Amino acid sequence: MRNVVSITMVLLLFSACSIELEKKTISEKLAAERKTEFKYLALGDSYTIGESVDRKKCYPNLLKDTLIKAGFLLDTVTIIAKTGWTTEDLKNGIFNREIEGNKYDLVTLLIGVNNQYQGLDIETYRKEFFSLLKQAISFANDDPKKVIVISIPDWGVTPFASDRDNKQIAFEIDNYNAIKKEEAQKLNVSFVDITAFSRKADKHPELVATDGLHPSGEMYLEWVNRIFPVAKQILEK
């Protein structure tokens, strides 16, 4: 009887190893077929660099890792972002990095929370965001279908905002996201909504980083689950 159990265990382990080897072989085959090495540019603010988490867990790097696992060849991600940046700050940051001549196969844009936080004029935001979006398209070799706009998460549900008007914050965030979506649609750019999921942080503290404000690695992974299908479709074309 013991011999039968041992043989069964060996067969199960062999089967598991075979499955993993097959997955690896499929991934390597896809990578071989996709000989092009893709370039990815991520534009934004603290949500893009992954404030208060390991940089490997910010959404651009997690997205890169997920795409590589899917068989795509990606170089290191170029990230232009900094904590506290508004749309105007991002514009200046792009200028200072001098990347005008570079072309990317995938560009993501997530910006606006600091405009909202600082109470800046929302119509000015619209104009500045539209300008940044056109610039993002230019980085994508003038192809709007290679750009992804990501919605602003709702920081009003975090511990940091416990003494603030959560409903007002949510209202303003929704208004900003409405503008982002409108402008993205005008230019035929994909829009990914991560805001709805970000609001789960009010009941799931593990989705918030140790600073009580920014997303945790687990939250970023959920964002990537929503961004990945769109990014995969872009790179497959």
Three-state secondary structure of 97-125: HCCCCCCCCEEEECCCHHHHHCCCCHHHH
pLDDT at 14 over 90: no
Residue 5 has pLDDT above 80, yes or no: no
Helix, strand, or coil here: 231? Answer: helix
Q: How many CB atoms lie within 10 A of CB 189?
A: 24
Ramachandran quadrant class, 50 (left: phi over 0; alpha: psi -120 to 50; beta: rest): left
What value does the mean pLDDT of the chain take?
90
Single pTM value for the model: 0.86
Q: Would you place residue 171 in the very low, low, confident or very high pLDDT band (cuts 50, 70, 90)?
A: very high
The residue type of 75 is D
pLDDT of 94 higher than 50: yes
Q: Which of 24, 20, 108, 39 is CA-nearest to residue 71?
A: 24
Q: How many residues belong to the chain? A: 237
Percent of the chain with pLDDT over 70: 85
How far, in Å, CA of 36 to CA of 46, rounded?
Answer: 30
- Is residue 105 within 8 A of residue 146, CB to CB? The reply is yes
Q: What confidence tier does 36 reach under pLDDT thresholds 50, 70, 90?
A: confident
User: What is the mean pLDDT of the segment spanning 79-89?
Assistant: 98
Assign 22 a pLDDT band (cuts: 50, 70, 90): low
Cβ-contact 113, 47 below 8 angstroms: yes
Q: How many CB atoms lie within 10 A of CB 109?
A: 25
pLDDT of residue 127: 98
